[in-house]
C-alpha cells in the first residue's frame, strides 16, 4: 500500500469570527469570509480537492464564491490544488514572486516527488506578490510580508479578523519548515547556505508583526485540531494567543540554529579525522599569530589549537581574541580551536570567538558538558583507561592521550585494544620522527607543538622555517 500523504481529515470549523479552517492534517487551508466573496489561504494538495470543497460547503459557504487564492509558497502541498480551484471558481491566484518557477514547471522544485507524485497542474499566478503588497477584498486587507528561507518566494500574511465588535490581528508564517534548510537538502539541490541566513532574517522580521490569532500552515504549528475542538466547545477565542506567535518564532529560530550547530560540529570532527594533525600554538604574541598561522597553512596544516595560559599571565580574553582573529582570517580554510581549557568560562569565550574545538589536559565532565552544549568538538585529556572511558561516556568526541611521550606507543596500543570504540589523539612529546608510530599504534591523530628552534624562528621572523617544519609533519600524514 502506498502512503497517501494528503490524507488526514480535520473537521472544518471556525478559527475566529470570519476566519475558518478548511484544510487537512498534512496541509492547512484557511477561508476568510470578507463579506464580498471568499479568500482561500493555501489550496492544499490537488488530491484533496474534493474534501476541501466539501469542507467549505459544510461551513455553509459556496466554493464558487472564492475570489482569491492566496498561497504562502509554491510547494506542492500548499499550491498543488490552486490551478484546478482557480479553473473551477475563476479565483485569482496570488503567489510570492520568488516561487514562480516552482509552479510554472520551469524548475523542478515543488517537492512533488516527496509525495510520490508528478506535478502536472502547473499554472501562472494572476498576481505575483512582493514584500509589503496588500491583498484586499470586502472587509479584509491582508499585508503580505516577504519571508524567504523555506522557499525564496515564501510570503507571510497579517490581517484583521472580526467577530461583532471583537477584532484581532491574525498572522501566519508562510514557510516555517526547516526541512528545506538542512545540509543534505541544500547540497542535493546545490542551494547556497545563505538561504539559512534569509530564514533567520525572516524570523527577525516577523517578530515586528503581532499575530494575536496565530495561524499555522501545518496543523502542528499551532495545535489547530485541539483549538478547533475548543472553539466548537464554546471557547470562541481559543485561537487568540498572542504569546504563542513569538514562542513559535523562537522555537523555529532555535531549530535552525541547532541544525547549523550540529553541522558545524560534524564538519569539525571530519576535518580532524581527515587531517590527523593538530598544531598547538602556545604563547605567540597576537601581532605575529596570523603570519605564523599562514605559514602553517602553507606547510599543509589545517587544524590549529591556541592554548589558554593557565598561569593567567595572558588573560583569557586576550587568547579568545586571538582565536577570533584567526577564525575571521581563515574562514573555512583552517579549523581553529582552544587548548589548555580548564574553566567553563574559557569554553564560552572560545565558542563566542567562533572556535570549533576544546582541548584540555584533563578529563573534566563539566567542561565536556559545556563544550557539547555549545556545539563544539570535545577533546579532553586522559592517561588511564578510567579517565578515557569517563571522558568518552561524558560525550567527548576524541580523547587526548597525554603525555604520550612518557606513556609510549606500546601503552597506546594496549589501551586501544579494549577501548577500540574511543578515538584517541596522541599528544605531548610527538615529533615528526615518531608520529607515524603513534598512528600505527591506534591513534587517529596527533597533536604537536612547536619546538625551541621553531620559537626562535618566529622571533626572528623566519616563517619559511615554520612552513618547512609543518610540511615535514603534514607530508607524512597524506
Which regions of 206-313 does DSSP assign to beta strands (E)?
Answer: 213-215, 277-281, 303-307
- Smallest gap from residue 316 Cβ to Zn ion (A): 45
To 5 degrees, how large is the angle CA 36–CA 39–CA 40? 155
DSSP 182: S
Which of residues 75 and 423 has its CB atom nearest to Zn ion in the complex? 75
Which of residues 75 and 392 has its CB atom nearest to Zn ion in the complex? 75
- Smallest gap from residue 232 Cβ to Zn ion (A): 28
DSSP 110: S
Question: Is the separation of the CB atoms in 91 and 40 below 8 Å?
Answer: yes
Element (H, E) at 171: strand 166-172
| Residue among 128, 119, 122, 134 at smallest CA distance from 153 | 128
Helix (H, G, I), strand (E, B) or coil at 72: coil
Residue 372 binds Zn ion, judged by CB under 5 A: no
Question: Is the preceding peptide bond at 403 cis, omega within 30 degrees of 0?
Answer: yes
* Spatial distance between the Cα atoms of 424 and 334, rounded to a whole number of angstroms: 21
Helix (H, G, I), strand (E, B) or coil at 246: helix
Query: Largest Cα–Cα distance of the chain, in whole Å?
Result: 87
Residue 75 binds Zn ion, judged by CB under 5 A: yes
* Spatial distance between the Cα atoms of 444 and 435, rounded to a whole number of angstroms: 11
Question: Is the separation of the CB atoms in 129 and 156 below 8 Å?
Answer: no
Residue 252 binds Zn ion, judged by CB under 5 A: no
Phi, psi of 140 (to 5 degrees): -115, 135
**Closest chain position to Zn ion (CB):** 75
Q: Find the part of the chain contacting Zn ion (CB under 5 A) among 72-80, 155-163, 343-351, 416-424.
A: 72-80
Which of residues 154 and 474 has its CB atom nearest to Zn ion in the complex? 154
* Spatial distance between the Cα atoms of 400 and 309, rounded to a whole number of angstroms: 19
Number of residues near Zn ion (by CB under 5 A)? 1
Query: What is the set of active-site residues?
Result: 305, 400
In sequence order, what are the beta bridge partners of 298? none
* Binding footprint of Zn ion on the chain (CB under 5 A): 75
Amino acid at each position: 500500500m502506498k502512503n497517501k500523504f494528503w490524507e488526514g481529515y480535520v473537521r472544518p470549523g471556525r478559527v475566529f469570527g470570519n476566519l475558518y479552517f478548511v484544510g487537512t492534517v498534512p496541509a492547512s487551508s484557511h477561508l476568510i469570509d470578507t463579506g464580498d466573496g471568499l479568500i482561500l489561504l493555501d489550496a492544499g494538495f490537488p488530491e484533496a480537492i474534493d474534501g476541501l470543497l466539501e469542507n467549505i460547503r459544510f461551513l455553509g459557504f459556496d466554493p464558487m464564491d472564492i475570489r482569491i487564492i492566496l498561497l504562502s509558497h509554491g510547494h506542492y502541498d500548499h499550491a498543488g490544488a490552486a490551478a484546478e480551484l482557480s479553473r473551477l471558481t475563476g479565483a485569482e491566484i496570488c503567489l510570492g514572486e520568488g516561487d514562480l518557477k516552482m509552479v510554472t514547471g520551469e524548475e523542478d522544485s515543488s517537492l512533488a516527488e516527496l509525495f510520490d507524485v508528478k506535478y502536472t497542474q502547473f499554472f501562472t499566478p494572476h498576481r505575483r506578490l512582493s514584500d509589503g503588497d496588500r491583498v484586499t477584498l470586502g472587509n479584509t486587507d491582508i499585508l503580505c510580508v516577504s519571508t524567504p528561507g523555506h522557499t525564496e518566494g515564501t510570503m507571510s500574511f497579517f490581517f484583521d479578523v472580526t467577530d461583532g465588535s471583537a477584532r484581532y490581528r491574525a498572522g501566519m508564517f508562510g514557510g516555517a519548515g526547516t526541512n528545506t534548510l538542512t545540509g543534505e537538502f541544500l547540497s542535493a539541490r546545490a542551494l547556497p547556505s545563505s538561504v539559512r541566513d534569509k530564514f533567520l532574517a525572516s524570523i527577525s522580521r516577523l517578530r515586528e508583526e503581532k499575530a494575536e490569532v496565530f495561524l499555522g500552515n501545518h496543523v502542528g504549528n499551532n495545535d489547530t485540531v485541539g483549538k478547533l475542538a475548543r472553539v466548537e466547545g464554546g471557547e470562541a477565542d481559543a485561537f487568540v494567543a498572542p504569546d504563542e506567535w513569538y514562542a513559535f518564532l523562537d522555537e523555529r529560530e532555535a531549530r535552525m540554529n541547532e541544525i547549523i550547530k550540529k553541522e558545524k560540529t560534524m564538519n569539525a570532527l571530519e576535518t580532524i579525522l581527515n587531517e590527523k594533525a593538530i598544531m598547538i600554538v602556545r604563547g605567540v604574541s597576537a601581532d605575529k599569530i596570523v603570519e605564523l598561522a599562514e605559514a602553517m597553512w602553507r606547510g599543509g596544516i589545517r587544524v590549529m589549537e591556541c592554548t589558554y595560559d593557565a598561569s593567567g599571565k595572558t588573560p583569557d580574553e586576550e587568547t579568545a581574541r586571538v582565536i577570533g582573529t584567526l577564525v575571521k582570517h581563515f574562514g573555512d580554510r583552517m579549523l581553529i580551536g582552544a587548548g589548555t581549557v580548564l574553566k567553563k568560562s574559557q569554553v564560552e569565550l572560545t565558542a563566542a570567538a567562533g572556535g570549533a574545538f576544546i582541548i584540555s589536559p584533563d578529563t573534566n565532565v563539566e567542561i565536556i558538558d559545556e563544550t557539547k552544549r555549545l556545539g563544539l568538538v570535545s577533546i579532553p585529556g586522559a592517561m588511564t583507561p578510567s579517565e578515557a572511558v569517563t571522558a568518552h561516556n561524558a560525550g567527548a568526541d576524541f580523547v587526548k592521550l597525554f603525555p604520550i611521550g612518557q606513556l609510549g606507543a606500546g601503552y597506546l596500543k594496549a589501551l586501544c585494544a579494549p577501548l577500540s570504540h574511543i578515538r584517541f589523539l596522541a599528544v605531548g612529546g610527538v615529533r615528526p620522527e615518531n608520529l607515524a608510530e603513534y598512528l600505527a599504534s591506534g591513534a587517529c591523530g596527533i597533536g604537536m607543538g612547536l619546538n625551541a628552534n621553531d620559537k626562535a624562528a618566529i622571533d626572528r621572523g623566519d616563517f619559511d622555517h615554520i612552513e618547512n617544519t609543518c610540511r615535514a609533519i603534514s607530508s607524512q600524514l597524506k
